[in-house]
Amino acid sequence: MQIQLKYGLNPHQGAARIVIEGDGAPLQVLSGRPSYINILDALGAWQLVRELREATGKPGAASFKHVSPAGAAVARPLSDGFRRCQMLPEEDYSPLAAAYVRARGADRLSSFGDMVAVSDTVDTSLARVLDREVSDGIIAPAYEPDALQMLKRKQKGGYRIFRIDPDYEPPDVEYRDVFGMRLEEQRNTARITPDLLENVVTDKAAFPADVVETLIVATIALKHTQSNSVCVAYDGQVIGMGAGQQSRVHCTRLACSKADKWLLQQHPRVLALAFKDGLGRPERTNIVDQFLLWDALTDAEKKQMISSLDEAPEPLTRQERAEWIAGFEGICLSSDAFFPFRDSLDRASRSNVQYVLQPGGSYRDKQVTQAANEYGMVMAHSGLRCFLH
């Protein structure tokens, strides 16, 4: 079967379509007119959430942008601090809705206009959440009738809604055409399981059960993220993703800086920011981001930010930031390939990372392990590289 697409990667690239070999139609477009990028994001995100469900037994969700997850999570209860920092109303959230709220909340700036993927049947609780968000589409195995009708009204009927057969399995060999040449390889079917944490190389050796699940979530997210990539995770969700960088330490810096912001946005002084009436949630999200980057702002940027508040805020000091971040237990980091130097762990220590999973195999493994021991981290070598290009 074939599905005609709106356009290719860019509007000037026509003749865009998706071709599905064999009998049956594992993918259906229920609403909207998808583009090439929508399909790439939807299929990438679906694979991620399907693996989250299989690995943890819990509903999984992902927020995808430009073929990498901005966030991913499994269903866990929402804390009051997290709900408030995400500016969410007080209501009952289904497990699936909670999973998506947590996935989108990993990086709200990057999740703006995302492709949503969920592992389970979309319910009205999730549909209500999506009705409030700026999102481009969703892929799921099924939809409750009322939830589907709510989503079909989004964007005046233009919201992209995909239904995928949860039992569909692609061929073992993948193909890609590049510059008129065809590449082929075995599909990455490696399973992310607790067994990957058995080869502990640090003095400290205990991975609590809660941490094991969080590291599994982080590593599954990495498996579906453009490499190089490093993921920081906490409480069963991604809180910082460093994707598509050419050096490992730049991935770590990016992931940790996002994680720091995720942790700090729940600080009482951030929650107390007095926004002026009439500001939407995206605008408020941008103000929080600027406030947490206070020292890097110019005077003009500070003035502009303050103009959106009823009163000027008191910036967080470096010591206050460090003390707040140090109060979180169970922060994890996973890497899609080995650390060639100890610099990534030096940076991770400032974000209070306590548990690390990486493939190992570097010429400098001993120096990296020494750094982990210096910071009191627990680190395991999985032996599994998860590059994606």
SS (H, E, C) the chain: CEEECCCCCCCCCCCCEEECCCCCCCEEEEECCCCHHHHHHHHHHHHHHHHHHHHHCCCEEEEEECCEEEEEEECCCCCHHHHHHCCCCCCCCCHHHHHHHHHHCCCHHHHCCEEEEECCCECHHHHHHHHCCCEEEEEECCECHHHHHHHHCHHHHCCEEEEECCCCCCCCEEEEEECCEEEEEECCCCCCCHHHHCCECCCCCCCCHHHHHHHHHHHHHHHCCCCCEEEEEECCEEEEEEECCCCHHHHHHHHHHHHHHHHHCCCHHHHCCCECCCCCHHHHHHHHHHHHCHHHCCHHHHHHHHCCECCCCCCCCHHHHHHHHCCCCCCEEEECCCCCCCHHHHHHHHCCCCEEEECCCCCCHHHHHHHHHHCCCEEEECCCCCCCC
Among 4-18, 37-51, 110-124, the range scoring the smallest mean pLDDT is 4-18
The verdict on 92 and 150 lying in the same domain is yes
- Residue 3's pLDDT band, with cuts at 50, 70 and 90, is confident
Is 182 a member of any domain? no
Say if residue 252 is in the same domain as residue 370. yes
Q: How much is the pLDDT for 15? A: 82
Domain-embedded: residue 367: yes
* Total count of domains within the chain: 3
At 69, is the pLDDT very low, low, confident or very high (cuts 50, 70, 90)?
Answer: very high
Query: Which residues does 389 contact at the CB level (< 8 Å), separation at least 6?
Result: 226, 227
> In this structure, what token pair is assigned to residue 289?
């981001």
Same domain, yes or no: 19 and 107: yes
Do 59 and 195 reside in the same domain of the chain? Answer: no
Residue 240: CATH number of its domain: 3.40.140.20
Q: Specify if 251 maps to a domain.
A: yes
The answer to whether residues 219 and 286 belong to one domain is no
Please check whether residue 238 is in contact with residue 229, taking contact to mean a CB–CB distance below 8 angstroms: no
Both 94 and 126 in a single domain?
Answer: yes
163 and 258 in a single domain? The answer is: no
Would the pLDDT of 184 be above 80? yes
Beta-ladder partners of 152 = none
Q: Is the pLDDT of residue 179 over 90?
A: yes
Q: So what's the pLDDT on residue 191?
A: 96
Instruction: Kindly report the CATH number assigned to the domain that includes residue 279.
Output: 1.10.287
pLDDT digits (tens, 9 = 90+) for 138-167: 999 999 999 999 999 999 999 999 999 999
Of 169, 198, 215, the domain-final residue: 169
Is the backbone of residue 278 left (phi > 0), alpha (psi -120 to 50) or beta? left
* Whole-number average pLDDT of the chain: 95
Q: Which residues are catalytic?
A: 65-66, 228, 389
Last residue of some domain: 108, 136, 169? 169
- Has residue 241 been placed in a domain? yes
* Residue 107 lies inside a defined structural domain of this protein: yes
CB atoms within 10 A of CB 218: 30
Residue 318 in tokens: 């470096």
pLDDT score for 316: 95
- Convert the pLDDT of each residue in 200-252 to its tens digit: 999 999 999 999 999 999 999 999 999 999 999 999 999 999 999 999 999 99
pLDDT band, residue 14 (cuts 50/70/90): confident
Query: Does any domain span residue 311?
Result: yes
* CA neighbor of 160 nearest in space, from 130, 124, 125, 123: 130
Phi, psi at residue 193, to the nearest 5°?
Answer: -130, 165
**Residue 196 sits in the same domain as residue 305:** no
Same domain, 39 and 96: yes
User: Looking at the domain assignment, is residue 386 inside a domain?
Assistant: no
Q: What is the pLDDT of residue 351?
A: 98
51 lies in the same domain as 75: yes
- Asked whether residue 388 is domain-assigned, the answer is no
Q: Tell me, yes or no, whether 116 and 53 share the same domain.
A: yes
| Residue 21 shares a structural domain with residue 157 | yes
The domain in which residue 231 lies consists of 188-264+325-381
